[in-house]
Amino acid sequence: MAKIGIVTVLYNSESVLEDFFKTLNEQTYKDFILYLVDNDSKDNSVILGKKLQKTVDFECKWLLQKNNYGVAKGNNIGILEALNERCEYILLANNDIYLENDAIEKLLNGMLMNKFTMAVPKIYIWNTDKVIWAAGGGFKWLQNYTYHRGGDRQDIGQYNTISKIDYAPTCFMLIKADVFKKTGLMDEKYFVYYDDTDFVWRATKYNNEILGYIHNSLIWHKVSSSTGGDNSDFSIYHLSRNHLYFSLKHLRGLHLFAFICYFILHFFFRKPFIYTPKQFKLITSSYKDAWRLFDNKL
């Protein structure tokens, strides 16, 4: 069997670890090592994780950090360790997930059979009757936003086809080790949000990697368990900043011009009416910081 390095980044993840360890231990595919990168959690994530480690059959390797370096750098720390230990595949995984017991096996088999170099499963929203969080995804051209196929829709089999896709979040993404050698690692400027978007863009559009969606590999996602949800100040700031930074970094020509026109109109004529004054001020600040990131001043 091919050796898989599963990389997960912890930050105050105590409440979700039990299901994560339990369902990893029940996997039909066994040849993997779990790399746990803890970003200086303030709760009992590490204590609980090491306790749970004694109850499972797979190998765990802890990479304890003295600061919260964010998801992008956290992933990079784990990826490099897995590559150094000659893992043939890297599986980037949130720890706020619950896996069906054959999720990894079906994901790997689907990836190999279809000659994908990257692959994602079908992801449901936790504690729902198979409501889809993401069945792969794509990019909206004008807005340069990402979208999740089937988001918030009941699964009635409408996405039950293995297919090549343009985008998916790295909530649970299997990647051939060679992809990192050509594409590089995560851009650590993002800290959190859009770091996976940036990586997928670079891999597929610049290096011709093939991202595939494997519909019969299933997991459940406990959405936004560590960031407070998309409406928290933390999420509003980082989503706004990183969307603009990502767009400035990658768009060119007509695409960049169209995006800037959309961006200006949306900023002046829509955002003031859908956000509170405090949130609008936060977004304005985030855009200034996005330009500094792009201009290499941070």
Is 44 among the domain residues?
yes
What's the rounded Cα separation, in Å, for the pair 191 and 55?
A: 32
Is 29 among the domain residues?
yes
What's the rounded Cα separation, in Å, for the pair 268 and 274?
A: 11
Residues 199 and 281 in one domain: no
pLDDT at residue number 230: 67
Is 227 among the domain residues?
no
Is 177 among the domain residues?
yes
Is 226 among the domain residues?
no
Question: How many structural domains comprise the chain?
Answer: 2
Which domain-ending residue is among 221, 247, 278? 221
Residue-number span of the structural domain to which 128 is assigned: 4-221
Contact 247, 259 (CB under 8 A): yes
- Encoded tokens for 179: 């992809």
pLDDT at residue number 89: 98
What's the rounded Cα separation, in Å, for the pair 281 and 212?
A: 39
Residues 128 and 274 in one domain: no
pLDDT tens digits, 55-65? 999 999 999 99
Q: What's the average model confidence in pLDDT over 82-108? A: 98
Mean pLDDT score of the chain? 95
Which domain-ending residue is among 221, 242, 268? 221
Residues 209 and 239 in one domain: no
CATH of the domain at 37: 3.90.550.10
Residues of the chain with pLDDT > 70, as a percent, come to: 97
pLDDT tens digits, 118-157? 999 999 999 999 999 999 999 999 999 999 999 999 999 9
At 268, is the secondary structure helix, strand, or coil? helix
Region of 138 please: left (phi>0), alpha (psi -120 to 50) or beta: beta
Residues 73 and 94 in one domain: yes
Residues 25 and 139 in one domain: yes
SS (H, E, C) 90-139: EEEECCCEEECCCHHHHHHHHHHHCCCCEEEEEEEECCCCCEEEECCEEE
pLDDT at residue number 224: 64
pLDDT tens digits, 174-206? 999 999 999 999 999 999 999 999 999 999 999
Q: How confident is the model at residue 228 (pLDDT cuts 50, 70, 90)?
A: low
Contact 25, 55 (CB under 8 A): yes
